[in-house]
Amino acid sequence: MWKDFKAFIAQGNVMELAVAVVMGAAFGKIVSSLVDNIIMPLVGILLNGIDFSNLKLKVGEAKILYGEFIQSIVDFFIIALAIFLFIRLLSKFKRKKNEEVDEEPAIDQKEELLKEIRDLLKENSN
In whole angstroms, what is the distance from residue 62 CA to residue 71 CA?
20
Q: What is the pTM for the complete model shown? A: 0.51
pLDDT at residue number 31: 80
pLDDT at residue number 32: 81
pLDDT at residue number 5: 77
pLDDT at residue number 106: 66
pLDDT mean by block of 10 residues, the chain; 126 residues? 77 76 85 82 80 81 87 82 84 77 68 88 84
Ordered domains of the chain (ranges, CATH): 2-125 (1.10.1200.120)
Question: In a 3-state reduction of DSSP, which class is residue 63?
Answer: strand
Phi, psi at 60, each rounded to 5°: 65, -125
pLDDT at residue number 79: 79
Burial degree of 80 (CB within 10 A; 0-12, 13-18, 19+): exposed
pLDDT at residue number 100: 66
Q: List, in order, residues 6 or more apart from 41 with CB less than 8 Å away.
A: 51
